[in-house]
């Protein structure tokens, strides 16, 4: 309590709220008391720092707002690449060499992918445990209750729910990323958003090697979300990089945070990271978002023997996955990856609030 009174006095002194008499008394007191003098200097420095911090924070926020406005107007759009003629020239000049190189590369990649499948890590580690949750009857009832709460949204026919996992939008028109092992277990798939509305979804692409899959919401009740808040990081995350994740280990969205602990996954799998975070069945397919609001990975599995050892597929795999999908099916040419990052420089709570809208619970019946 003494400390509080002292601080209060110092603050009144610094802000000039004291009467002349009081001030003279305090200055005298300060002169004869080194400790108080020190406190005054320290506090003045600290308050100045705090105010500068507040000022800068507000300014940075204004910058973000202006940036968002200008992005919407297209002022900050990245100009298209120029200098096409040069590339064509080079191509013609080196066509033959490239063809030879490509065929060798092709051969080697077939060979290595063959080897990779043969020595696939995922079956190698007996403690590699995928995080899709088998749920019991009680949970199933809960989900039905939620569904019935929707007013205005068409209530879905009763769904049998045996498994639950997580997924998140990569295109606001309804494309959701989740794990392949999640969808392999399910049929009659539904996704549920944080408002408790749920929509039927179709499994449009599965890649078992990357353990990633794409769902498309095919429900008329679903309304397109125009701007996704995060971007996808193309480079590797750094060791020690902090992140948060959202997922559905329960029937409710759960937040978790941790750090990147290794740049490879189970048994040296270079397409994954090892993370330290708490994750449970149901977390599979959850987004891993760094402090800049970039997606760095997708939670896939954990080590059932070790505590907090979780594996996540690297985010750049999503880009490969979507490219493959576009190549395989012309119907999906229009998929657009998120480009504007609204999460940057926000504090964690705000970031989570924005992410909650794009993370979905993925549920379905046993696929037999």
Partner 1 sequence: MSTIEQELQLLKGLAISDKQAIETIYRENYSMIQSFVINNNGSADDARDIFQEAMVVLYEKSKDTTFSLNCQIKTYVYSICRRLWLKRLQQLNKYSTQVESLEETVFVEDEMEEHEKRDNDFTLMEHAMSKIGEPCKSLLDAYYLQKKSMQDIAANFGYTNADNAKTQKYKCLIRLKKLFFAQYKNA
Residues engaged in binding partner 1 (CB under 8 A) = 3-4, 7-8, 42-43, 46-47, 49-54, 56-60, 62-64, 66-67, 69-70, 75-76, 78-79, 231, 341, 347-348
Min separation Cβ 42 and partner 1, Å? 8
> Which is closer to partner 1, CB of 84 or CB of 96?
84
Q: DSSP letter for 278, please.
A: -
Burial 327-361 (b: 16+ CB within 10 A, else e): eeeeebeebeebebbbbbbbeeeebbebbebbbbb
Min separation Cβ 51 and partner 1, Å? 6
> Which is closer to partner 1, CB of 2 or CB of 307?
2
> Which is closer to partner 1, CB of 59 or CB of 255?
59
> Which is closer to partner 1, CB of 73 or CB of 126?
73
SS3 content of the chain, % helix, strand, coil (to 5): 40, 25, 35
> Which is closer to partner 1, CB of 257 or CB of 267?
257
The neighbour count for residue 98, using CB atoms within 10 Å, is 13
Nearest to 368 by CA among 187, 158, 134: 187
Cα gap 133→238, rounded to integer Å = 30
> Burial, 138: exposed, middle or buried (Cβ in 10 Å; 0-12, 13-18, 19+)?
exposed
> Which is closer to partner 1, CB of 34 or CB of 330?
34
End-to-end CA distance of the chain: 68
Min separation Cβ 1 and partner 1, Å? 9
Does an H or E element contain 117, and which? helix 84-118
Min separation Cβ 319 and partner 1, Å? 14
Min separation Cβ 216 and partner 1, Å? 28
Nearest to 164 by CA among 244, 281, 280, 278: 281
Min separation Cβ 47 and partner 1, Å? 8
Tell me phi and psi for residue 261, to 5 degrees: -105, -15
Min separation Cβ 37 and partner 1, Å? 17
> Which is closer to partner 1, CB of 79 or CB of 240?
79
SS3 146: helix
**Residue 352 CA, distance from chain mean position:** 9
């Amino acid at each position: 309590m003494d400390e509080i009174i002292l601080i209060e006095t110092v603050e009144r002194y610094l802000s000039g709220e004291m009467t002349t008499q009081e001030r003279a008394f305090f200055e005298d007191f300060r002169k004869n008391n080194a400790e108080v003098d020190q406190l005054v200097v320290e506090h003045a420095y600290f308050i100045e720092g705090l105010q500068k911090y507040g000022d800068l924070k507000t300014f940075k926020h204004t910058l973000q707002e202006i940036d968002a406005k200008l992005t919407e107007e297209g002022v900050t759009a990245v100009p298209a690449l120029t200098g096409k003629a040069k590339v064509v020239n080079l191509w013609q000049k080196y066509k033959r060499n490239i063809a030879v190189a490509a065929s060798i590369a092709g051969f080697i990649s077939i060979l290595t992918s063959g080897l990779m499948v043969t020595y696939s890590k995922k079956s190698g580690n007996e403690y590699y445990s995928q995080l899709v949750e088998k749920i019991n009857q009680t949970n199933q009832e809960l989900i039905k209750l939620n569904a019935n709460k929707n007013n205005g949204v068409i209530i879905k026919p009763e769904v049998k729910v045996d498994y639950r996992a997580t997924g998140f939008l990569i295109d606001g028109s309804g494309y959701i990323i989740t794990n392949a092992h999640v969808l392999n277990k399910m049929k009659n798939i539904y996704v549920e958003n944080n408002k408790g509305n749920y929509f039927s979804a179709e499994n449009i692409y599965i890649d078992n090697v990357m353990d990633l899959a794409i769902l498309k919401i095919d429900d008329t009740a679903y309304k397109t979300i125009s701007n996704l808040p995060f971007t996808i990081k193309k480079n590797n995350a750094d060791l020690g990089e902090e992140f948060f994740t959202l997922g559905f280990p329960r029937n409710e969205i759960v937040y978790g945070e941790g750090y990147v602990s290794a740049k490879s996954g189970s048994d040296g799998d270079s397409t994954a990271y090892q993370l330290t975070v708490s994750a449970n069945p149901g977390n599979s397919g959850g987004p891993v978002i760094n402090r800049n609001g970039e997606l760095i990975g997708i939670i896939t599995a954990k080590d059932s023997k070790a505590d907090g050892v979780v594996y996540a597929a690297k985010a750049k795999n999503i880009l490969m996955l979507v490219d493959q999908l576009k190549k395989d099916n012309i119907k999906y040419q229009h998929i657009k990856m998120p480009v504007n990052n609204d999460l940057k420089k926000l504090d964690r709570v705000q970031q989570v609030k924005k992410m909650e809208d794009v993370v979905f619970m993925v549920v379905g019946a046993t696929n037999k």
